[in-house]
Amino acid sequence: MRFNAAIFDLDGTIMDSGEGIVRSVGYALDKMGVKDYDERSNYRFIGPPLTDSFMEYYSMSEEEAARAVAYYRERYSVTGIYESHMYDSVRELLLKLKECGVKLYIGSSKPEKFVRMILEKQGILDLFDFVAGATFDESRNNKEQVLTYLFEQVKIDPNSAVMVGDRYHDIEGAHYMGIPCIAVLYGFGNETEFKEHGAEYIAADTDQIFKIITSEE
């Protein structure tokens, strides 16, 4: 097979989690006194670290962004985390890859506790050989840090591993680790973004993901 290990992003790749994230961002902005924001534009928050997004998109200081993240988690940990659903046929994809002997991992910039809660609720936590996520204190925050942690904890051969994600952060994180990336079109990114950041593969659906991972060179 082309790849023996597949590292999956969570939001926008396994889970359609847009509703919970966007509503929780809105809750945080309301608490911070931000007015007249466009809720649709807050889909930009899906993927990158929250602190960075609050600072970039709403010109917050680092201290303000930290408060906004705390407000976000106030809602997300209770309600937002469950305002999501698994994309069609992702479960089948994971099961087929396991049957083929592919090692499955999670590399997400969402706090690891939340990642595990979501995977467990969906009944797929046990399909993954290791779950790597961010820390609440942000000592491990961006995709590069998360993937570095994953590679430190698990012996993964970079020559036979691939990242699967839906945003340019996944592509950049994969390239930082010296592995290629399959960028998925059904998430929150787009083909222009993927090509600009050099995704090696672009998949429209889970069937294409499976073929890319399991096909011979």
**Per-residue model confidence as pLDDT tens digits over 186-202:** 999 999 999 999 999 99
Q: Of 48, 82, 116, which marks where a domain is finished?
A: 82
Cα 100 from Cα 185, distance rounded (Å): 24
Q: Name the residue range of residue 111's domain.
A: 5-16+85-214
Residues 103, 190: one domain?
yes
Residue whose C-alpha is closest to residue 164's, from 148, 147, 152: 147
Measure the CA dihedral 147/186/213/98, to 10°. 80
Q: What is the mean pLDDT of residues 92-112?
A: 97
Q: Of 82, 99, 119, which marks where a domain is finished?
A: 82
Residue 47: predicted pLDDT: 80
pTM equals: 0.90
Mind telling me the catalytic residues? 9
Residues 75, 116: one domain?
no
The β-bridge partners of 50 are none
Q: Of 34, 63, 82, which marks where a domain is finished?
A: 82
The SS3 call for residue 171 is helix
15 phi and psi, to 5 degrees?
-115, 140
**pLDDT over threshold 70, residue 213:** yes
* Per-chain mean pLDDT for the chain: 95
With cut-offs at 50, 70 and 90, classify the pLDDT of residue 153.
Answer: very high
With cut-offs at 50, 70 and 90, classify the pLDDT of residue 48.
Answer: confident
Residues 75, 89: one domain?
no
Cα 141 from Cα 119, distance rounded (Å): 19
